[in-house]
A and B are shown apart, each in its own frame.
Chain A
């Protein structure tokens, strides 16, 4: 029983980690807390639904399309709105992204209606040694791990990735070294939106799709990056896994209702003992 629950926890943890990485990127580079992260994820889920429903594209193959589309949406949002609050007090960015979040959800309700949609593509599970590995969740986990790994390689190895990390460490020094900070901000926001979109795309085969599906992910991602250390990218991975496991274990040993409580109690404990998160604060 424990084994089964650990499997489920790791599988959802992988998704949490990938989606939260996007939020961590934005916070690290711009010091903006993006409340619209969840609604961007919702848009990714709709991209997958429509590609699958209208054009019969394999839902897992829609991930790159959804990511590309939301990369553009993210850059556009940054260019038109977010850049105005980058240097403003953090409350301004909270208010702005909160507004964007409400707008996105309501636009989605208008455009897509609030009908529940589902991508019924793959169901069932693989049985390995008495443990059930849910097919859609395993595949989603594999994709999430792949996307997250690519994101890390990009951040560690490429010039652009290094420029993003440099901007995150010290904007002034990066600027002095010739990094176009405005462009980096735009790309970072695009990248973060793409990561959210990948999460939505993968969730589309697991849960019902509706315009309000995203909000809960904003809070989960926020929980994850605070647990791991705000702005610390490997911390997002650790935090994601931790959240996945804690939720499942709490459901098993306590009740499903208490699992969220436990996650937030954990958050408070971490903030009390290690206010900078488990892996420490913003650094790369």
Chain B
């Protein structure tokens, strides 16, 4: 045997041996588009890391149905139209075995039409808008993980009502999620006997709130409930200070829970209430472990987007495991029946795939930290109330 032939034989053997443990089928490919750039990049990236950690842990435990799992992720630039194209591509060209949801409600709303068309189960960990799930005709294959947008400001409104406050101003970005959060806050406020003295929506990408805040100031509300994302929450807060808008309570929705929120606003973030789907300190099974591994893996702390992404992926995997197959209808049956508790909290959906069990918590920035102040059974401390005027801090 010539040395060349021997070499070839060794390589051939190595290839055969190397391919054996990977099984004949190859990995289970799970597709998703995420907002890795654009307006929602910060949040979409955290969700992506949640997916990555889930992939890593599942594979370390031997994968799913005896196969490794592998995420195929594209960047939708925070744009629903791009995401629609990407899910078409994932399903028809890449022929992925399953899909997971993208970031944000507007993107999920657009994408759901594609996944329904191709009958793909989509666990959507970061879509919080009720109307995505409550549709006629019913969307069959989409599953909700987080609490709906409508309850984001529930804690703020409830605490305000308990403290005898009377008036509230509601402002929101004019997008699907923020509109729902604002509508929920207004309904709740009316139910609790608060008067909505001012309400206005502003377009996505708006950075100058002076006219809006001038009007809010004239209405002089006790509470400002702002259904925001990150940029607008920061701009609103800065301009509230500049214009001397002094409510007794001021709360935002998304973005306010990111460490960057405090880094950007520094002490101006103090006293601000935020809503979060999850905190690392909440007593959920596997939560401390998730927090530690995540921090070690990615070099920064997880946000609730990370935890929801992670949990959503585990929930999908659990559905597949119980179904014993990747067949969409079998997985769907299991996910509808499933009741479980992950590091992210409770999961249980109704017949529409709408989340029923997961709980929302409200925190307040106190001394550079987020302190859970609502609901009472999960609260770590009392809220610092009322919020002092800007010039008295």
Chain A contacts to B: CB under 8 angstroms:
1, 4-5, 8, 12, 109, 113-116, 118, 120, 123-125, 127, 132, 134-135, 137, 206-208, 210-212, 216, 247-249, 251-252, 255-257, 259-260
* A257-B235 contact, Cβ under 8 Å, with A1-B214, A127-B244, A208-B230: no
Instruction: From B42, B206, B218, give the contact of A256 (CB < 8 A).
Output: B206
Beta-carbon contact of B231 and A116 below 8 Å:
yes
Instruction: Return chain A residues, CB-CB under 8 Å to B42.
Output: 114-116
Pick out which of these stretches binds chain A: B262-270, B325-333, B339-347. B262-270
Q: Which residues of B contact A206 (CB under 8 A)?
A: 207
Q: Tell yes or no: B239 within 8 A of A by CB.
A: yes
Q: Dominant SS at the B interface?
A: helix
A257 and B36: CB pair below 8 A?
A: no
Are B201 and A255 interface neighbours, CB within 8 A?
Answer: yes
Partner of B239, one of A1, A134, A211, A212: A134
Asked if residues A5 and B244 are in contact (CB atoms below 8 Å), the reply is no
Give the tally of cross-chain contacts (CB within 8 A): 101
The answer to whether A251 and B211 have CB atoms under 8 Å apart is yes
**Does B230 contact A116, Cβ atoms closer than 8 Å?**
yes
Q: Across the interface, name the chain A residue whose C-beta is closest to B243.
A: A132
Task: Please report whether the interface of chain A is mostly helix, strand, loop or mixed according to DSSP.
Answer: mixed
Among B207, B242, B263, B268, max chain A CB count under 10 A is at B242
A residues less than 8 Å from B89 (CB atoms):
none
Q: Decide if B200 is an interface residue (CB 8 Å cutoff).
A: yes
Q: In residues 184-212 of chain B, which contact A (Cβ within 8 Å)?
A: 200-203, 205-212
User: Counting CB contacts under 8 A, is B369 at the interface?
Assistant: no
Q: Which residue of chain A is the closest to B239 with respect to CB atoms?
A: A134
Cβ of B220 under 8 Å from chain A: no
| Distance from A133 Cβ to chain B, minimum over Cβ atoms (Å) | 8
* Contact A123 B268, beta carbon cutoff 8 Å: yes
Q: Is B389 interfacial (CB-CB < 8 Å)?
A: no
Most chain B C-beta atoms within 10 Å of own C-beta, residue among A113, A127, A208, A216: A208
B39 proximity list for chain A (CB < 8 A): 212
Asked if B41 and A207 make an inter-chain contact with CB atoms under 8 angstroms apart, the answer reads no
Q: A132-B244, A212-B39, A256-B201 are in contact. List 12 more A-B contacts (CB 8 A).
A: A4-B243, A5-B214, A115-B260, A116-B230, A118-B263, A118-B264, A124-B390, A134-B210, A134-B243, A212-B37, A252-B211, A257-B201
Q: Which residues of A contact B206 (CB under 8 A)?
A: 256
B38 interfacial contact with A, CB 8 Å? yes
> Known contacts being A118-B264, A252-B214, is A210 close to B41, with CB within 8 Å?
yes
**Are A256 and B203 in contact (CB-based, < 8 A)?**
yes
With both beta carbons as reference points, the residue of chain B lying nearest to A118 in the complex is identified as: B264
B238 within 8 A of A: yes
B174 touches A (CB below 8 Å):
yes
Please tell me if the beta carbons of A125 and B211 are within 8 angstroms of each other in the complex. no
Q: With the chains together, A1 CA to B220 CA distance in Å?
A: 13
